[in-house]
């Protein structure tokens, strides 16, 4: 009996002990020496090395986020947009103009330890906003040159602001393909990336994303192919800074023409094939080449006996009105055909327009009469249409107002002659 009594007494004492402990206030076990951690939110992982998009919102909504960190009592939090601190503390609430931004939040402790999360923030324009899209290399610019911005609702833009400088001498050009505004880059604009602000007639400001200002020589077109022993023209920016080109093992220092936007030379006598092209500038830096929306210091050049008459991406559809530039392809003038000799082969490189269900191509004169010896082709894949340029064909082009590609549902990408 005594044994049972002592057991009950021990249980009673223990219960009082636990009750006393449970009545105490909770306390944090984190210390100032702990490594900081971001508990919430969880950021997505990189994909193929690229930063993840962590927010995709319209420009009329604020970018908001609340951070849960540990050790909470010993940390400071810094929110950064494009490398600039915009806010501190656990809560972010900020309004941004339309554009793509680099986002980073850094958590640091008193002991000097830190961690961070980063990603991309996409702020989208509203439907009626002026907005500048990215087409190609037009956002790589040089001080003092004329540059372009392509986009939507640009006819409402009266000025643009870059790095605090207001540019008012802008020209709007309407185009069914890509409307744009042309402007002169300030001559004193510093090298680096700058955000563009579009200003409308009511002085409202809209985001236009970023441009990159460079003093480096950059070739943007004309470097991918050429003809042996003929003039070779390449265009770009800062090309007056080129000191030499090394092509197919030969170093070239004499050019037939050279300006900030163009360089021309006579291509060496070479067999058809692919050759490497590099270059050096007067300051000793490497010449750069733009392709596939990136910049490289070496270019592969195709030397061919085939001459490129036109290259681009021109849509053709009979559904468009007669005054549309895309009703036909008519971008090679009669004067060009006047220089060609009978027996040459014209090759039209085309690609299908995926948005169209039917694809047809015809080659005609400017009067829409079929060229002699040609036929209508229907297709569902990219390809090449060849036209034998007999003397009859060449005469008909001269007599009937030129050369056309007509039909529906395709792009003309390149026209060559051999």
- Structural domains of the chain sorted by starting position, each given as residue range(s) with its CATH number in brackets: 37-124 (2.60.40.10), 131-213 (2.60.40.10), 218-303 (2.70.50.70), 307-417 (2.60.290)
Which residues on neighbouring strands pair with residue 118, listed in sequence order?
104
Both tokens assigned to 250: 């030969």
Three-state secondary-structure class, residue 15: helix
pTM for the model = 0.71
CB 242 within 8 Å of CB 281: yes
- pLDDT, one tens digit for every residue, the chain (418 residues): 444 444 444 444 444 444 444 444 445 567 877 899 999 999 998 888 899 999 999 999 999 999 999 998 899 999 999 999 999 999 999 999 999 999 999 999 988 999 999 999 999 999 999 999 988 899 999 999 999 999 999 999 999 999 999 999 999 998 766 899 999 999 999 999 999 999 999 999 999 999 999 999 999 999 998 988 889 999 999 999 999 999 999 999 999 999 999 999 999 999 999 999 999 999 999 999 999 888 999 999 999 888 889 989 999 999 999 989 999 999 999 999 999 989 999 999 999 999 999 999 999 999 999 999 999 999 999 999 999 999 999 999 999 999 999 999 999 999 999 8
Query: Residue 11: what pLDDT?
Result: 42
Query: For residues 334 and 317, is the Cβ–Cβ distance under 8 A?
Result: no
**Residue 350: CB atoms within 10 Å:** 26
DSSP 399: H
User: What is the per-residue DSSP string for 145-200?
Assistant: SEEEEEEESGGGEEEEEETTEEE---EEE--SS--EEEEEPPTTPPSEEEEEEEEE
Given this model, what pLDDT does residue 365 score?
96
Cα separation of 375 and 405, whole Å? 12
Q: How many CA atoms lie within 13 A of 185 on its CB side?
A: 24
Q: Can you tell me which residue has the tokens 């402790």?
A: 109
Whether the upstream peptide bond of residue 41 has omega within 30° of 0, thus cis, is yes
């Amino acid at each position: 009996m005594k044994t049972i009594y002592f057991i009950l007494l021990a249980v009673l004492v223990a219960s009082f002990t636990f009750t006393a402990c449970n009545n105490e206030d909770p306390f944090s076990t984190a210390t100032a020496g702990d490594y900081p951690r971001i508990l919430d939110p969880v950021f997505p992982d990189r994909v193929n090395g690229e930063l993840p998009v962590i927010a995709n919102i319209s420009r009329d909504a604020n970018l908001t986020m609340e951070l849960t960190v540990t050790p909470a009592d010993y940390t400071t939090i810094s929110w950064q947009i494009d490398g600039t601190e915009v806010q501190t503390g656990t809560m972010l609430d900020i309004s941004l103009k339309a554009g793509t931004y680099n986002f980073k939040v850094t958590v640091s402790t008193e002991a000097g330890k830190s961690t961070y999360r980063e990603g991309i923030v996409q702020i989208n324009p509203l439907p009626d906003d002026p907005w500048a899209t990215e087409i190609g290399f037009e956002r790589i610019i040089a001080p003092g040159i004329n540059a372009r911005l392509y986009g939507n609702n640009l006819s409402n833009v009266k000025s643009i602001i870059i790095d605090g400088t207001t540019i008012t001498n802008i020209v709007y050009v309407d185009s069914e393909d890509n409307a744009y505004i042309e402007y002169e880059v300030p001559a004193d604009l510093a090298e680096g990336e700058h955000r563009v602000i579009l200003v409308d007639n009511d002085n409202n400001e809209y985001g236009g994303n970023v441009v990159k200002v460079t003093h480096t020589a950059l070739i943007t077109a004309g470097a991918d192919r050429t003809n042996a022993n003929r003039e070779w023209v390449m265009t770009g920016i800062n090309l007056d800074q080129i000191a030499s080109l090394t092509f197919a093992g030969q170093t070239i220092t004499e050019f037939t023409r050279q300006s900030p936007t163009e360089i021309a030379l006579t291509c060496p006598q070479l067999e058809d094939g692919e050759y490497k092209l590099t270059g050096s500038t007067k300051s000793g830096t490497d010449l750069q080449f733009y392709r596939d929306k990136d910049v490289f210091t070496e270019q592969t050049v195709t030397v061919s006996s085939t001459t490129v008459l036109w290259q681009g991406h021109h849509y053709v559809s009979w559904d468009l009105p007669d005054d549309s530039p895309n009703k036909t392809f008519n971008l090679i003038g009669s004067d060009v055909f006047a220089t060609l000799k009978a027996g040459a082969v014209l090759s039209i490189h085309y690609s299908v327009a995926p948005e169209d269900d039917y694809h047809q191509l015809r080659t005609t004169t400017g009067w829409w009469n079929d060229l002699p010896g040609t036929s209508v082709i229907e297709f569902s894949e990219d390809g090449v249409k060849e036209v034998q340029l007999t003397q009859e064909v060449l005469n008909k082009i001269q007599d009937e107002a030129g050369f056309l590609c007509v039909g529906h549902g395709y792009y003309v990408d390149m026209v060559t002659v051999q």
